[in-house]
Homo-oligomer: A and B are copies of this chain.
Amino acid sequence: MPSPVTLTLDEAGAFARAALIAANTSAENAESVARALVAAEADGQAGHGLSRVSSYAAQSKSGKVDGHAVPDFSRPAPALLRVDAGLGFAYPAFDLVIDALPGIVAETGIGLAAIRHSHHFGQAGAHCEKLAEKGLVAFVFGNAPKAIAPWGGRKPLFGTNPIAFAAPLSEGRAPLVIDLAVSRVARGRILSAQKAGLPIPEGWALDVEGNPTTDADAGMAGTMIPIGEAKGAALALMVEVMAAALVGASLAFEASSLFTGEGAAPNLGQTVIAIDPGMSSAGAYGERMETLVAAIEAEDGVRLPGSRRLEARARAAREGLTIPAAVHAEIAALAGEDWRDA
In chain A between 224 and 273, which residues have their CB closer than 8 angstroms to a CB of chain B? Answer: 227-228, 230-235, 237-238, 240-242, 244-249, 251, 253-254, 271, 273
Check B246 against A305 for contact (C-beta < 8 Å): no
Q: Would you call A165 an interface residue if the criterion is a C-beta within 8 Å of the partner chain's C-beta atoms?
A: yes
Q: For residues 100 through 124 of chain A, which have their beta carbon under 8 Å from a beta carbon of chain B? A: 107-112, 114
Residues in B with CB closer than 8 Å to A180 are: 228, 231, 234-235
Give Cα distance in the complex from A296 to B238, angstroms.
13
**Residues in chain B near residue A282, CB distance under 8 A:** 76, 82, 248
CA distance A277 to B244 in the complex (A): 11
Q: Are B153 and A299 in contact (CB under 8 A)?
A: yes
Among B76, B241, B281, the residue within 8 A (CB) of A292 is: B241
A279 within 8 A of B: yes
Q: Which residues of B contact A240 (CB under 8 A)?
A: 292
In the complex, which residue of chain B has the Cβ closest to the Cβ of A114?
B280
The docked-state distance in angstroms from the alpha carbon of A261 to that of B231 is 33
Kindly specify which of A21-29, A283-291, A312-320, A324-332 makes contact with the partner chain.
A283-291
User: Shortest CB–CB separation between residue A229 and chain B, in angstroms?
Assistant: 8
Contacting pair B150 A245 (CB below 8 A):
no
Cα separation A233 to B253 with both chains bound (whole Å)? 29
- Cβ A277 vs Cβ B78 within 8 A: no
Contact partner, A235, options B112, B178, B184, B288, Cβ 8 Å: B178
- Residues of chain B with a CB closer than 8 A to A1's CB: none
Contact status B234-A228, CB under 8 Å: no
Instruction: Tell yes or no: A196 within 8 A of B by CB.
Output: no
Most chain B CB inside 10 Å of its own CB: which residue of A76, A77, A247, A271? A77
**Subset of 7 A-B contacts with CB under 8 Å:** A79-B111, A165-B238, A237-B292, A245-B288, A248-B285, A251-B288, A251-B292
Q: 8 closest Cβ contacts across the A-B interface?
A: A227-B228, A248-B284, A77-B109, A80-B109, A245-B288, A248-B281, A79-B108, A153-B302
